[in-house]
Structure 1
Amino acid sequence: MSVENTKRGTPPYISPSTFRHLVEQLQKNLPDRIDRSYLDELHSGSTSTQIMSALRYLSLADTLNKPTHHLKLLLASSGDERIKRLKDLANNSYGFIFNDSSVDLKTATYSQLEELFHNNSGVDGDVRRKCIKFFTSLCHDADVPLSPHVTKKVRMSQSSQPARTSVRKASSKGTKIMEVPQQKWQVPEHMELLNKLLDK
């Protein structure tokens, strides 16, 4: 029995690329239930949990993690129909933004979005930044116009993130990609002094 999700929790804060990749995978083969056993084949455990939470928030999965009618319509769409489905998804999921007459998304500032997310969901810090990043990405894909004050700030926050390199780590399930911060290696001061003494 399908149970629609009528409660809202924390807005999605998975990366937009993760969401797009998931939609592509679901289009190829939609499982009866989008659970950890399915998602762990594609992502790490923590990401799988965040994805399930995001799908429930967006009403793309019910409380039993089964695909909803909304998800099936989204997966069956393409082109202009896909844009329409994404726009409906944004409007239905982020009513606290679209229904707030005090904020015009075409001219809003980034701080106004931060306040809306905090007041509605209590999110702050890095989680709130990721929530806003996902929201603005969804709006972009749905052709929902956003203020340049917001989009510029989102781009700046992305460029300020530390660079990462991908390292493949072998495991019993196969090869996974583990991201580690990129570091700049420096020669210790005592080694530099030793080299100078040896040169004399």
Structure 2
Amino acid sequence: MTLYGYARVSTNDQDLTIQREALLSAGCELVREEKRSGTTLEGRQELDTLMAFMRPGDTLMVTRIDRLARSIGDLQDIVRQLKAKGVSLRATEQPIDTSTAAGKAFLDMLGVFAEFETNLRKERQLEGIAKAKEAGVYKGRKPSIDVEKVKALHANGQGATAIAKALGIGRASVYRVLEGDAS
């Protein structure tokens, strides 16, 4: 029966120290960490490694449920996988026991709130962008393709593949520039 910790933050500039220390203090023998969004399970190699490695009787520990998943669907998928493996789930900051009906209900409520918080954050972000656009402040992302270089290389007789390779961009981007030039 091994206690494994999982720590996650969303961005590279965030720090995992507090989570790591809490998990180690709670008795975790191993803590896996990653800096990936919790809104999806895709690309979360450290979580995948833990899920593949844990055996019946082991426990997965997180500091809070939102470190594990930010959507109720993903959280339920993780819990089902853990249950199928005979692995329990605990959190250092929340009273979670997935072996009881009350614990499962509490876990689901926390998952709903984590998803709700994510949705609110997205709404606020979209409102802020719309307001900035109205004020003429928000112009969007700066173009990553030098249109003039694409046109110059094409004028020199280079094909889309050669242009894409020379500029480190995709061929589809080259075609979009050239098609825009033709219209």
- TM-score for the superposition, normalised by structure 2: 0.27
- TM-score for the superposition, normalised by structure 1: 0.25
Which is bigger in relative contact order (C-alpha 8 A, separation at least 6)?
Answer: 1
